Amino acid sequence: MTQPRHHKTTAALSDGREIHFYDDEAGRRREVADTRALPPVESGSELRWDPTVEEWVVMAAHRKARPTDSAAHCPLCPSMPGAATEIPAHDYDVAVFENRYPALRSADPGAGDPGSALAVPAGGRCEVMVFGSEHDTSLARMPERRVRTVVEAWADRTQVLNALPDVEQVVCFENRGSEIGATLAHPHGQIYAYPFVPSRFERMQRAARHSRARGTGCVFCSVLENELAARHRIVERTRHWTSFVPHAARWPYEVHLYANRHVPDLTALTEEERADLAASYRSLLGRFEAVAEAPLPYMALWIQAPARGERELGHLHAQVFSDRATPLKPKRLAAGELGAGTFISEVEPERAAAALRAAGARPRTGEFAGACAS
């Protein structure tokens, strides 16, 4: 396993939640003291089973109280005298802390609906990852070494969370843009450690299992090989990573970033693969900023092998997608898509790939209206 080159500092917030600082350069030491008087975190989340589609739904009504962005107070900016935030430091590179309004949290055994066998306490964990102390920027505009620190933090948190007894799947993700419902403009993402394998990831595991049973090997490796053979949907290829618009893309702009080597998760990457990933991922996000007349809002998530069981079926890759072809033209999901689950795409993947390739040579313009929700 790759040894991190950054320095990590772990501390506790005043309500007992963990916070971790990841610095771009090793050897940095910091003192962390949260001066706030916060009450203990109470999540009250519950998992309810829908037997008609065999999947869990997370009930988390308390999240309605989470803070939103304001010009006067951003909870993710550095703490200053008289203005304490979630991050008790006057500056930082990357910070990760437990969400104060978590959808998932190690559960109270007495919680849940005592009258139903289809409701259980919601275990797991939700963490917020802040990409830097600067408020008005984006991950795509940060230096490559900062993106490398983000990659290291993702890998470290994946390893730690995978080891928790009530965690089955770790998902690192970012929602970028108030247009898609984000509530905080400070650049950051989240990490969900689910106490179950989410249904879409479970279907991916099933497809990988079927492919192996047919003797056709890894389904993800086959997809990558087919895209490389077709060539016209490739956005960018490096020694260790390939980004492409999938043959059956659902969204106006949708790119998958695959590890060229069959590897289960971020923790298994080599030093060289992590460095190459920082450059490749930064380049990909930059294309979403440059492909239209203003930066497109997007969602991004990493698909990794589950924490335990059939990990060899997983093939690490990211999915980055936008719900619009232009900043002012969102794709509205209708009943057939949301209700029946069958997408109808009105953008040719080959045209989208060509536009994203060309975007890599254009300067970035415009500003985001907001960043990902906490």
Torsion of CA 17, 21, 22, 24, to 10 degrees: 160
Question: Residue 4 has what pLDDT?
Answer: 52
Do 205 and 323 fall within a single domain?
yes
The pLDDT tens digits for 137-166 are 999 999 999 999 999 999 999 999 999 999
Instruction: Name which residue leads in pLDDT, 346 or 26.
Output: 346
pLDDT at res. 337: 92
Give yes or no: residues 217 and 183 share one domain.
no
pLDDT at 64: 74
Same domain, yes or no, for 235 and 92? no
Residue 247, classed as helix, strand or coil, is coil
pLDDT, position 69: 59
pLDDT > 70? residue 42:
yes
Question: What does the pLDDT read at residue 340?
Answer: 94
Q: Is residue 370 part of a domain?
A: no
pLDDT given at position 44: 80
Buried b (16+ CB within 10 A) or exposed e, 332-362: eeeeeeeeeeeeeeebebeebbebbbebeee
Residue 171 near residue 192, CB atoms below 8 Å: yes
Residue type, 328: L
For residue 285, is it within any domain? yes
The closest of 268, 253, 209, 265 to 354, measured between CA atoms, is: 253
Q: Is 262 helix (H, G, I), strand (E, B) or coil?
A: coil
210 and 270 inside one domain = yes
Taking residues 50-59, what's their average pLDDT? 94
Q: How far apart are CA 167 and CA 372, in angstroms?
A: 24
Residues 18 and 116 in one domain: yes
Please report the pLDDT score of residue 67 as a whole number.
66
Identify whether 372 is part of a domain: no
| Domains in the chain, number | 2
Lowest mean pLDDT, pick from 109-113, 129-133, 189-193, 204-208: 109-113
Same domain, 286 and 148: no
Residue 127's SS3 state is strand
Supply the pLDDT for residue 363. Answer: 52
The answer on 273 and 190 residing in a single domain is no
Give me the sign of the Cα torsion angle 29, 137, 326, 372: positive
Cα separation, 349 vs 128, in Å, equals 32
- Specify whether 57 is located in the same domain as 168: yes
In percent, the amount of the chain with pLDDT more than 70 equals 90
Give the structural domain span for 143. Answer: 7-195
Instruction: Mark whether 164 and 256 lie in a shared domain.
Output: no
Q: What is the pLDDT of residue 285?
A: 98
Q: Is residue 366 part of a domain?
A: no
Residue 366 has phi, psi (to 5 degrees) of 80, 175
Does the pLDDT of residue 55 top 80, yes or no? yes
pLDDT score of 370 more than 50: no
Where a domain ends, among 195, 223, 238?
195
Is the domain of 240 the same as that of 214?
yes
Query: 357: left (phi > 0), else alpha (psi -120 to 50), else beta?
Result: alpha
Cβ neighbours for 154, distance < 8 A, ≥ 6 positions apart: 129, 172, 191, 266, 302
Q: Do β-strands 119-121 and 55-59 pair in parallel, antiparallel, or remain unpaired? A: unpaired
Burial class (CB in 10 A: 0-12, 13-18, 19+), 95: buried
The predicted pLDDT at position 373 comes to: 37
pLDDT at 13 exceeding the cut of 90: yes
**Residue where a domain stops, chosen among 176, 195, 214:** 195
According to DSSP, residue 170 is labeled E
Query: Comparing C-alpha atoms, which of 115, 114, 183, 169 is closest to residue 304?
Result: 169
Q: What are phi and psi of 233, to 5 degrees?
A: -105, 0
Task: Return d(Cα 171, Cα 193) in angstroms, integer.
Answer: 6
Give the CA distances from residue 65 to residues 36, 83, 241, 339, in Å, rounded to whole numbers and listed in that order. 18, 20, 40, 28
Strands (E), the chain: 7-12, 18-23, 46-50, 55-59, 94-98, 119-121, 125-130, 169-176, 188-194, 234-237, 241-244, 253-259, 298-303, 317-322, 324-326, 329-330
Q: Taking the CA of residue 81 as centre, how many other CA atoms within 13 Å lie in the half-sphere pointing to its CB?
A: 0
**Pair 167, 228 in one domain:** no
Query: Does any domain span residue 316?
Result: yes
Band the pLDDT of 360: cuts 50, 70, 90: confident
Nearest 5°: phi and psi at 224? -60, -45
Catalytic residue among 188, 240, 256, 315: 188
Q: Is residue 339 part of a domain?
A: yes
CATH number of the domain where residue 30 is located: 3.30.428.10
- Span of 6-10, 134-138, 296-300, 330-334 with lowest mean pLDDT: 6-10
Segment 293-322, tens digit of pLDDT: 999 999 999 999 999 999 999 999 999 999
Residue 39 lies in a domain: yes
How far from chain centre, in Å, is Cα 141? Answer: 18
Whether 188 is catalytic: yes
Average the pLDDT over 250-258 and give the result: 97
Same domain, 284 and 184: no
pLDDT of residue 371: 36
Q: Which of 180, 195, 210 is the last residue of a domain?
A: 195
In a domain, residue 374? The reply is no
Q: Are the C-beta atoms of residues 167 and 195 closer than 8 Å to each other? A: yes
pLDDT at position 151: 98
